[in-house]
Chain A
Amino acid sequence: MAETHSLQDMRQQAAIAAKVFIQRDYTSGTVCHFQTKFPSELENRIDKQQFEETVRTLNNLYAEAEKLGGSSYLEGCLACLTAYTIFLCMETHYEKVLKKIAKFIQEQNDKIYAPRGLLLTDPIERGLRVVEVTIFEDRSLGR
């Protein structure tokens, strides 16, 4: 769902207060796994459970992408047989899961994070090194 932003829309967007970066968890090697530890900056913005659920789901999706299964093996064989020309027309397994992840993040942003003044950035934009959480300024009164 691509939207073009008019200048007015851009002005209406809240100002960025801070950015939190969820780092990778390398305890099980170089598999893509993000730390589920709840950052303190988000404590008063979102439920810990919710956040951890998001990160856990992300981790599961990445695990699925990197899985050494029959499908990835077949894909490799097919690529070999076609002298890798198959990559021009077919999407790899990893890319398919990345699309799923992008959709998931978009959905999480729409439903959960944007209403709370937060925004998740797809980690692929950062080379799968960090999950960037943008915290927006809350200028509303009270509290």
Chain B
Amino acid sequence: MRLNDCVKPYTQVGGVPASIFQVQKRSCIPPDIQRPCQTYLTKERRRGSPVPPQQGSKSGGVGGLPSPPHTASPSRPLRPSRYVPVSAATAFLVGSTTLFFCFTCPWLTEQFSVAVPIYNGVIFLFVLANFCMATFMDPGIFPRADEDEDKEDDFRAPLYKTVEIRGIQVRMKWCSTCRFYRPPRCSHCSVCDNCVEDFDHHCPWVNNCIGRRNYRYFFLFLLSLTVHIMGVFGFGLLYILYHTQQLDRVHSAVTMAVMCVAGLFFIPVAGLTGFHMVLVARGRTTNEQVTGKFRGGVNPFTNGCWKNVSHVLCSSQAPRYLGRKRKLHSVVVQPPFLRPQLTDTQLAAKVLDNGIHGDLHRSKSSLEMMESQSCDAEPAPPPKPELRYPGLSRGHHGQHTEESSLLNKAPPTPTMYKYRPTYSSPGKNHTALTHAYANQMSRGDSLKESSSLLQSSQQPGFRSEPSLDGREAPGERGGLGGGGDRPGGGGDEIQMKLFSRTNGQPRSSLSSSGSTPSSPSHPISMSTRPGQAYPSPGNTQSPAHKPGGGVKKVTGVGGTTYEISV
């Protein structure tokens, strides 16, 4: 059983389940001891291998294109067993209703009014329309991510990423098939082999997933089917009550048969309708209800009963992601390129920089490193050579941009490899620490390096120092202060203060790192911090706002405490 199965996916901020002790990586075991039974944890990466085309049958919405340019699932072998429930449902629905119209309605029309068949006809049309939409509409399938979107190595990337939604930590799992971290409420359907947005469930009666785009139709189908069954049963009963003396006639027999079918289906259909009415009112999906995600927790996706209902019924039809006309980029991008003007502070930074530290960006990771201490007991592998641009993949892209002319004076020692800067949490919440943490967690990076960084950070205003790892001075990124605004350079001390002020939670991001757990074996920061974080082992720090002074204490592994002035 996977570790993560023990954990409730939605937790309140501040209440980190103690069972998460270790970040589970996409490929959490070294290749030399990889066992087949654990391969489900490995992120599949097949660079260069062609991605097979998606199943075409469900990829189009209304008026969809015949050949979707985006790929989703490989073409699966035809499985006739999949079509049995939907065929049966269609047969019962259409067959019974046709019999009702042919045998029961004529007499009712004569006896009462023409409104009877019209009413039943309208309801039946509504049922059919919603049934067709639920069956044939793309539920909100995400196209597979391109190769270049995922720059992370198998052994570095965590299996889960945590985001905070309205104060509640929500986990996003890495989908190895689709190659992205599943957005909240998204789930991968094993039947369709696709990730579906706002996944509700896979319905065998319509042979389709129910997701964001077609949930409304599914819900209306259930509602209208309930009404239709009640109508058919009711009018059939009326017919029978008037024909008690002629029950041996064909018409009566057929009516009774239709009534039986209607009565039989009424109980499960009405039950399901009631269930979904409750789900809609509470703003939950079937998947969430059945997996017990909100048991004891709070649903971050609800907006109140009325808004939930109106969102399901009244929102504009969500767009499909597959089968869209891909617009050709008609823009030709050619050098020479414009560059932004350096501000005075940036120029000052470059002047003070003695060339050893070079990259202004790298100080961000330096700050991150000193903030977060890995709890990994394993010895750190040697740090990878620093990339000139954090966002660039290792080595493939070879050439440095000309901006790195300063950076081309390579630092004497390799520096920390940066982890996925673009997956950082938004504005107010710092990202640097998260990155650093993830970096550490996934690589078990050297703490020696961190400690040297910490030392350099203790001198605010000191821009560069000949430290071993060539790290730039503290505060450049204001990683302590938060990932918010990040001017390219600037006085570090000033900058750190700026960040503290501009950061919506000036202390919170620092506090979880500053207010340290007593044991050095625990990481300082993490999932309790608001914003994006990775599940941290046993850290019960609340992200809120520790009233700190101007100095933060950071405890490294080994018990050494460092002070960082902010």
Contacts and interface: CB of A to CB of B under 8 A. Distances in A.
Max chain A C-beta neighbours (<10 A), residue from B148, B170, B340: B340
A94 B316 contact: yes
B143 A68 contact: no
A128 to B, nearest CB: 7
A65 to B, nearest CB: 7
A119 B484 CA distance: 23
B389 A41 contact: yes
A45 to B, nearest CB: 7
Interface string A94-109: 1100100010001001
Nearest to B393: A18
Contacts of B488: 43-44
A93 B129 CA distance: 21
A43 to B, nearest CB: 5
Contacts of B133: 84
A117 B335 contact: yes
A142 to B, nearest CB: 7
B332 interface: yes
A125 B68 CA distance: 12
Given A44-B488, A47-B340, A72-B316, A88 B63 contact: yes
Interface residues of B, number: 88
Contact of A18 (B143, B397, B431, B531): B397
Nearest to B150: A21
Contacts of B220: 80
B148 A27 contact: no
B401 A37 contact: no
A12 B391 contact: no
A2 B327 CA distance: 8
Contacts of B106: none
A41 B391 contact: yes
Interface residues of A, number: 84
A6 B19 CA distance: 59
B391 A87 contact: no
A12 B331 CA distance: 12
B166 A143 contact: no
A13 B143 CA distance: 27
A107 B170 CA distance: 36
A5 to B, nearest CB: 8
A23 B422 contact: yes
Contacts of A141: 402
B318 interface: yes
B336 interface: yes
A94 B399 contact: no
Interface string A48-67: 10000000000000000111
Contacts of A122: 327
B143 A126 contact: yes
B241 interface: no
Given A14-B335, A45-B340, A66 B426 contact: no
Max chain A C-beta neighbours (<10 A), residue from B166, B301, B329: B329
A101 B311 CA distance: 22
Contact of B333 (A3, A20, A95, A117): A117
Interface in A3-32: 3, 5, 9, 12-14, 16-30
A92 B393 contact: no
Given A136-B333, A140-B336, A35 B183 contact: no
Contact of B364 (A3, A25, A40, A129): A40
B145 interface: yes
A24 B183 contact: yes
A138 B319 contact: no
A68 B314 contact: yes
Interface string B121-160: 0000110110011000000001101101100000000000
Given A37-B426, A84-B133, A140-B336, A119 B329 contact: yes
B317 interface: yes
Nearest to B404: A44
A41 B488 CA distance: 10
Given A30-B198, A143-B405, A114 B422 contact: no
Nearest to B391: A41
B402 A125 contact: no
A92 B149 CA distance: 30
Contact of B431 (A37, A46, A48, A127): A37
A126 B340 contact: no
B65 to A, nearest CB: 14
Contact of B389 (A18, A126, A129): A18
B180 A129 contact: yes
B164 interface: yes
A138 B337 contact: yes
B277 to A, nearest CB: 18
B326 interface: yes
A48 B332 contact: no
Contacts of A19: 148-149, 391
Contacts of A94: 316-319
A47 B340 CA distance: 6
24 contacts: A19-B149, A20-B422, A21-B149, A21-B422, A30-B198, A36-B426, A37-B431, A39-B421, A40-B389, A44-B488, A45-B337, A68-B314, A76-B313, A76-B314, A84-B129, A93-B317, A94-B317, A117-B337, A122-B327, A124-B319, A127-B142, A132-B149, A135-B401, A137-B335
Interface of B: 62-63, 70, 125-126, 128-129, 132-133, 142-143, 145-146, 148-149, 163-166, 170, 180, 183-185, 197-198, 217, 220, 300-301, 303, 307, 310-311, 313-319, 321, 324, 326-340, 360-361, 364, 389-393, 397, 399, 401-403, 405, 421-427, 431, 477, 483-488, 531
Complex A-B, nearest 8 residue pairs according to Cβ-Cβ distance, in ascending order:
A117-B337, A41-B391, A83-B129, A72-B316, A93-B316, A140-B336, A127-B321, A44-B403
Given A127-B143, A138-B402, 14 more contacts: A2-B330, A3-B330, A9-B332, A20-B422, A36-B426, A44-B401, A76-B316, A83-B128, A87-B62, A94-B317, A115-B338, A119-B329, A124-B319, A127-B142
